[in-house]
Amino acid sequence: MESQQRLLALVILVLGNGTFLFVGAVPAAQEATSSLHPVVLVPGNTCGQLDARLTDEYEPSTTPPGCGIQKQGRGWFRLWENFTALQEDPALSSCYADELRLVYDPVAGDYRNLPGVKTRVVSFGTTRSFRFDDPARKNVCMERLVEALEEIGYTQGANLFGAPYDFRYAPAAPGLASGVFSEFMSSFRLLVERASERNGNKPVIVVTHSLGGLFTMVSLDRSPLPWRRRYIKHFVMLCLGVGGSPLNMWPLAASNVGSPSSLLGSVLTYGNRSFASMFSLLPSPKVYGSRPLVITRANNYSADNMAEFLAAAGFSDDEVARYRTRALPVTLNLRAPLVPMTSINGVGVPTVDKLVFWDGNFSVKPQLVYGDGDGQINLETVLALESLIGDDPDQRYFKSILIPNTTHKGMISDEFALKRVVSEILGAN
């Protein structure tokens, strides 16, 4: 069984080099609509748009004066992200960066927004928010996949839905509070049920990219098995293995990021290292063990001693404890979803495997050592996913597809990869 799956992955890899294989029959677009299973898309990190509203409690902590109610008013505004607004008033960038930060509330045992900052995810249920006005972020959030699905007969709101989420928060170990993620999970389930009901009770195909795959894997794992079997036709997971990625240690390395010059820069350092999600995709001890991932003259840091790396990078004991107790158990407990699953990943793109800060100064640009992957997700974690899911005797159907020369973003924006992804979605139909 296992070797069969591996063989399948291999065959598709070879075919993927220049040609692609259609799995199943491709229905004609016109007659397809009514017979298509509904699709719910869960996009990648930073793809959920957030609106915010300030109250008097908000005390801006950034230097440019004037952030806060006087400048920004009391109404809802687009916090993440409004490139147009930042072009008009670049000073807003540091206001927004400050307002995006999270704090940990030890009494609630959970992360929350800064006092006086209310946020909400824009357009949950739809794919309307999957696009940005920032040219630097063109096509990073499944917008081309939405178009490709529309071309084969999918219709927004009828049989095509979106589940954006607040990417600053993350699933926590079972039993620990993670209010925002729990809300996402219930909204996601309701959306799936509604999508099914609106489509003759047909079960749903869930398609995820990157971090959306983690949110979905955990949501499915925490949903009763009969619910999964009733509502999930197929889970198509793009660009994610198990066990995180050494690349994600980089933005956590330097405590003194100073003031990132753009809002994007700030968000990419996980809100000045305040987001709950920053620990979610750190390399897993199960995959990387004691292999050095961050190398200095004096010390090497591996997944096994991640806590020491975080301490060396300036995280407090409390923060390190949250890595160990909240985030790490989620990574270690990832399990097969027990619904039919296809995983599609890019390979053949140099992907950071190790970071060398030889002088031990985490604020300088490290020397990068590359391995194989899609530029962000390492092939090793994809192979780990293949064993995790493929070796589970209760997982009835699992297929892993590797597409050569395909980047993390290319998977959802390059013509060739998109065709492959769409053909898998049709195949699942």
Query: Applying CB under 6 A, which of residues 43, 171, 241, 292 lies at the interface with ligand NAG?
Result: 292
Among 78, 189, 198, 233, binds ligand NAG (CB under 6 A): 78
Helix (H, G, I), strand (E, B) or coil at 98: helix
Number of helices followed by number of strands (H, E) in the chain: 18, 15
Beta strands in 26-140 (DSSP E): 39-42, 50-54, 77-80, 102-105, 110-113, 117-121
Residues making up the chain, counted from first to last:
429
Residue ranges in 240-279 that form contacts with ligand NAG under rule CB under 6 A = 255, 259, 272
Cα 255 from chain centre:
23
Pick out residues in 400-419 that bind ligand NAG (CB under 6 A). Answer: 404-405
368, amino acid identity:
L
Omega cis (within 30) before 57 = no
Cis preceding-peptide flag for 81 (omega within 30 of 0): yes
84 binds ligand NAG, rule: CB under 6 A:
yes
Q: How far is the CB of 276 from ligand NAG (least distance, A)?
A: 15
Residue 387 or 405 with smaller CB distance to ligand NAG: 405
**Residues 119 and 79: beta-carbon distance below 8 Å:** yes
User: Does 333 interact with ligand NAG (rule: CB under 6 A)?
Assistant: no
Q: Which is nearer to ligand NAG, 91 or 190 (CB)?
A: 91
Count of residues in contact with ligand NAG, rule CB under 6 A: 19
- Report the SS3 class of residue 394: coil
Based on CB atoms, which residue is closest to ligand NAG, 70 or 255?
Answer: 255
- Binding part of the chain for ligand NAG, among 37-45, 65-73, 81-89, 167-175 by CB under 6 A, reads 81-89
d(CA 44, CA 409): 10
Q: Where are the alpha helices (H) located in 258-391, listed in sequence order?
A: 263-268, 270-273, 285-288, 306-312, 317-322, 328-332, 379-390
Could you tell me which of 328, 277, 268, 287 has the C-alpha nearest to residue 134? 268
The reply to whether 363 sits near ligand NAG by the rule CB under 6 A is yes
Q: Which one of 21-29, 52-60, 78-86, 152-160 is the stretch in contact with ligand NAG (CB under 6 A)?
A: 78-86
Can residue 85 be called a binding residue for ligand NAG (CB under 6 A)?
yes
Distance of alpha carbon 345 from alpha carbon 342, whole angstroms: 10
Least Å distance between CB 316 and ligand NAG? Answer: 9
Say how far apart CA 306 and CA 308 lie, in whole Å: 5
Catalytic residue numbers, as ranges: 210, 374, 408
Of 295, 327, 384, 403, which lies in the binding site for ligand NAG, with binding defined by CB under 6 A?
295
Q: Quick check: 23 binds ligand NAG (CB under 6 A)?
A: no
Q: Hey, what are 185's tokens?
A: 């999970």
For residues 60 and 331, give the distance between their C-alpha atoms in angstroms, rounded to a whole number: 34
87 binds ligand NAG (CB under 6 A): no
Q: What type of residue is 88?
A: E
Q: Which is nearer to ligand NAG, 186 or 255 (CB)?
A: 255
| Least distance to ligand NAG, CB of residue 46, Å | 16
Stretch of 84-92, 110-118, 203-211, 226-234 contacting ligand NAG, by CB under 6 A:
84-92
Nearest approach, Cβ of residue 259 and ligand NAG (Å) = 4
Among 82, 119, 376, 407, binds ligand NAG (CB under 6 A): 82
Give yes or no for a contact between 348 and 372, defined as CB atoms under 8 angstroms apart. yes
Minimum CB–partner distance for residue 58 and ligand NAG (Å): 15
123 lines the binding site for ligand NAG (CB under 6 A): no
Q: C-beta of 404: minimal distance to ligand NAG in Å?
A: 4
Neighbours of 162 (CB within 10 A): 25
- Which residues form the interface with ligand NAG (CB under 6 A)? 17, 78, 82, 84-85, 88, 255, 259, 272, 292, 295, 299-300, 348, 361, 363-364, 404-405
